[in-house]
Each structure stands twice: as C-alpha cells, then as structure tokens.
A and B are shown apart, each in its own frame.
Chain A
Amino acid sequence: MHNHVEMHGHASLQKKNLYMKHIVIIGSGIAGIETASALTDAGHWVTVIEKEVHVGGKLNNWTYLFPDFTPAEEITKPLFSKFREKDFSFLPNTEIKTVIRNNNKFSIETSGNQQLEADAIVLATGYELFDARRKEEYGYKIYDHVITSFDLEQLFKPEGKLTVAFGKHPKRIAFVHCVGSRDEKSGNHYCSKVCCITGVKQAIELKKRIPEAEIFCFYIDLRMYDKHFEELYRQAQEKYDIQFIRGRLSEASENIDKSLLIKAEDTLSGRPLKMNVDMLVLLVGMEAGEGTTTVARTCGVSCEESGFLKTQDSFLKSNFSDQEGIFLAGSCFAPMSVHDTILHARSAAQEVNDWLKNNN
C-alpha cells in the first residue's frame, strides 16, 4: 500500500489502459474538484492532491454567497457528490516534493514518497486571506471587537453568536473595505475584487439579524463589477439603510467599554470624521499565499509581482502557466469569486483536454 492510487487498486491497472491520459491536479477546492470532474468526464484518469484532510478548500468556511445569499453548502454539496461519484484518485494530506519533466511527461514525487507520472498538471492551489494583524492600526487581535469578514461569516453559522461586550448585540457596526488590498504598505497593490460585494452582502446579513443596528461601510471605491452586484448595493441603501461613507479608515482605538473609536475622512464632505462603533469588520483581501508560492517554485512556474501565477496570455490563455503542460485553475491565477472560479476551472479542463490531444 505505498500509495492511495494503488489502493484503488484493481481499477488502477485498468485505468492505465482504458484512460487516455493521466492528469495531476494540485488542490481540491472548488477549482480543483470542478477541473477534476470535467477531465474525468472527458475520459482521463485524474489524481487530485490535497494538503489538507478534506476536499472543498476555503468554501467550507463560508456560510452565504454573494450576490443572492445562496448558502455555500448548495455549491459544496453537489461538488462533493461529484467528488464521491466520479472515479478519480484523491491524495489527502499530501504535498508535492519534486516535479521533473521527462520528455512529454512529468514525474512527481509527493510528501508521502509516492511517485506519479503525469501527462499534464493543473495548479488549483487557491488563495489565502490577508492576515489583518499586519494592519496594526486597525487593531485586529489587539482590540476585542475588531473582526474580519471571515470571522463574521463564522458568526452567521447556526452556532454563531453576534454579541459584543456584556452579551449585548452591537448597536453600531462599521465595515472597512480594502483591508490588505490596494495597499502597498501591506505589500498588496492589487484589488481583491470580491471584498466590495462581500461587504455589502455581510452588511445586509447583519442588518437582517440585528434590525436596530446602524451599519456603515467605509470604502475608497465600490466596485460592483458583476451581474446583480449593483442591484445588491442599491438594496443595501434602499431596503436596509446601510450607510456608505467614502473614506479609508486611518486608525481605530479601543475605548474603556470595549467600543471602538474610528477615524476616517468623509472625503465627499471634505472633513475628518470620527465615530464610536461596537464592532468593526475588516474586509480582508485575497493573497496568493504560501501554498501557491511553494507549489509554483516546485513546478518552476512564474509568479507575478502580486504573487498570483503568471499566464501566457491573460485574454486567450489564462489557463496556461508559463510552463508548457502546467495549467492554472481558479484563484491561484487572480482573486476571483466562486462564480468565476467555477468557470475558470471548466475552461482549464477544456484547455488541458485540447492541449493533450494536440501535443501528445
């Protein structure tokens, strides 16, 4: 039993004969699973490598999705059933150690000392959330009631409790947009794309749960780029009385009663503004993260300055890394929504399939 692929055993030998090509996918988040199931459907033998124990990646931690409050489970469930039903190999708790190119094939050695021969590799290593402690001026993990959008999402789960000091509901809540995005001081010059709409979605969700709360969003620009986003923003104003203030928070400080004093410029009135809030939510951005960087190094794939992986051509070849035969799927390429990740993963499968037909 030296590897999991062999464990599926009796099928393994048949696979080598029956299936067209062997594709190794790194990462089993939504991008990895979607690519894997499409390539399996196309008749290939697929092995998915995952460093964690479970499939599903980051989406496992999300409760509702923008822009229509779809429960995240409605996306992960069908994904997991694809995972169970489709005949591909899964190596959990596994990372890749080396990748060596031999003619048209890749020899991959895993952390479990398994040797895999692949005709193509798909990187679906995803992203990491920005560590808000790096923006010390906002006091995350210093002040009690400064939380991130990730933390808030956990509070939306059935077991979550939306309370602040003395078990009271927060009466006034502020959201800070662009935390760790568009910010050279934290090393991320790019826009993470999804936080604007996440903020609007979470503000509405909070208002539904605590109707008496006053909710403010502090933004630099509101980028409602996709279908139904602008409508949700409008709803936030019209139906939920969310107030939008154009100005980036300069700092937060904690009062003796654990409420927070925040400062921003109300840029539209051109005056400094201060306000006490009971809870501060930091809308953290996306980063390529350690996982993606390490895998890129192992595979010899280049990163952009942002840390996200480089493509051959962002219009026509956004699934092609700069290494022939190594493909990209999902947010290891750029920050993207669940919706866009699924599309990017499907197109990755298509590209891999076409490439294998034409190049082998």
Chain B
Amino acid sequence: MKDFGYTVIKQRTIDYDQFDGRLLKEVLEMEPSFKVCLSCGGCTATCSAGDLVSFNIRRMNLMLRRGETFELESEIEKCMLCGKCMLVCPRGINLRNVIMLIKKSILKFKPAKT
C-alpha cells in the first residue's frame, strides 16, 4: 500500500476504562505497604540511579496505577536495588520488594507491543 505519510495520533487521555489493574492488584497483595505512598518524592531525591538516568521511582506507583505496564518494564531495569529510597520513605514502604515483585509478575500482564 502506498504510504501517504499520514498517521493516526494516539489519544493522550488516560482512558481509565481500559485500565488493566491485574499487575497493581498482585503487587499490592504481596506488598500492601505500597498502598500508602503519599508521592512526596523523597525516594527519587535520594535515588542512586535517578541522578544519572531518567529513573523516577516515585512514578512507578503512578505507572502501576495508570496501567503503563509496558513502560514500567524498562523503567525498573534502571534500579540498582541499593535501598536508599527505603531509608528515606516516611511511610516505610518496602520499595525494593515492590521492584522485585514487578519484575516477577510483569511478564504475565504485559500487553502485546502495538
């Protein structure tokens, strides 16, 4: 087919009706402390990886809750599991376990790349 150079622009809106919460549900069941994140960003401020690459551990929570599973998979690869985020967290969230749980479960729930 002739390529006229037209594309269909993907909607930027978060379509919550399309949200697949299976990964989030599994992570929260295994690590309930992750429910109480108040998005203060202390974790990201002290993150050993975040200084150098665009890794934002606070956003992991959002990505899970907005179903950005595909992006999440490459994001968590940047974590070095040093655990400084856990020292800083005012709500005592076991972030290292969260990363490990996502790593374990993500393949089950990852959507096919479009």
A residues at B contact (CB < 8 Å): 137, 178, 182-185, 220-221, 246-251, 263-267, 270-273
Say which residue of B42, B51, B91 sits within 8 Å of A249 (CB atoms). B42
Most buried by B among A185, A266, A272: A272
B residues less than 8 Å from A137 (CB atoms): 88
Given A250-B46, A272-B47, A272-B50: A265 in contact with B41 (beta carbons within 8 A): yes
Q: Is A248 in contact with B92, judged by CB distance below 8 angstroms?
A: no
Given A248-B40, A270-B59, A272-B51: A265 in contact with B45 (beta carbons within 8 A): yes
Q: Is A249 in contact with B90, judged by CB distance below 8 angstroms?
A: no
Q: Is A185 in contact with B41, judged by CB distance below 8 angstroms?
A: no
Q: Is A273 in contact with B90, judged by CB distance below 8 angstroms?
A: no
Say which residue of A182, A185, A247 sits within 8 Å of B45 (CB atoms). A247
- Complexed CA–CA distance, A271 and B51 (Å): 9
Q: Check: B100 CB closer than 8 A to any chain A CB.
A: no
A residues less than 8 Å from B47 (CB atoms): 272
A residues less than 8 Å from B45 (CB atoms): 247-251, 263-265, 272-273
Say which residue of A182, A263, A265, A270 sits within 8 Å of B38 (CB atoms). A182
Q: Is A267 in contact with B90, judged by CB distance below 8 angstroms?
A: no
Q: Which size bracket describes the interface of B in this complex?
A: 20 to 34
Write the nearest CB–CB distance from B80 to chain A, whole angstroms.
15
Given A249-B42, A265-B44: A270 in contact with B88 (beta carbons within 8 A): no
Q: Is A265 in contact with B90, judged by CB distance below 8 angstroms?
A: no
B residues less than 8 Å from A272 (CB atoms): 44-45, 47, 50-51
Write the nearest CB–CB distance from B39 to chain A, whole angstroms.
6
Write the nearest CB–CB distance from B74 to chain A, whole angstroms.
16
Q: Is A247 in contact with B40, judged by CB distance below 8 angstroms?
A: yes
CB-CB contacts of B32-61 with A at 8 A, as 1s and 0s? 000000111111111100110000101100
**Nearest A-chain residue to B44, judged by Cβ:** A265
Write the nearest CB–CB distance from A246 to chain B, whole angstroms.
8
Q: Is A248 in contact with B51, judged by CB distance below 8 angstroms?
A: no
Q: Is B91 in contact with A248, judged by CB distance below 8 angstroms?
A: no
- Complexed CA–CA distance, A265 and B90 (Å): 14
Given A182-B90, A184-B92, A270-B59: A247 in contact with B41 (beta carbons within 8 A): yes
Q: Is A263 in contact with B40, judged by CB distance below 8 angstroms?
A: no
Write the nearest CB–CB distance from A253 to chain B, whole angstroms.
12
Most buried by A among B41, B47, B56: B41
Given A251-B88, A265-B44, A272-B45: A220 in contact with B38 (beta carbons within 8 A): yes
Q: A248-B90, A250-B88, A265-B45 given. 11 additional CB < 8 A pairs?
A: A185-B89, A185-B90, A247-B45, A250-B42, A263-B46, A264-B45, A265-B43, A265-B50, A267-B39, A267-B40, A270-B56
- Complexed CA–CA distance, A182 and B36 (Å): 11
**Nearest B-chain residue to A188, judged by Cβ:** B90
A-B contact pairs, 30 of them (CB 8 A): A137-B88, A182-B38, A182-B90, A183-B90, A184-B90, A184-B91, A185-B92, A221-B38, A247-B40, A247-B41, A248-B42, A248-B90, A249-B42, A249-B45, A250-B43, A251-B45, A251-B46, A251-B88, A264-B45, A265-B41, A265-B45, A265-B50, A265-B56, A265-B58, A266-B41, A270-B56, A270-B58, A270-B59, A272-B47, A272-B50
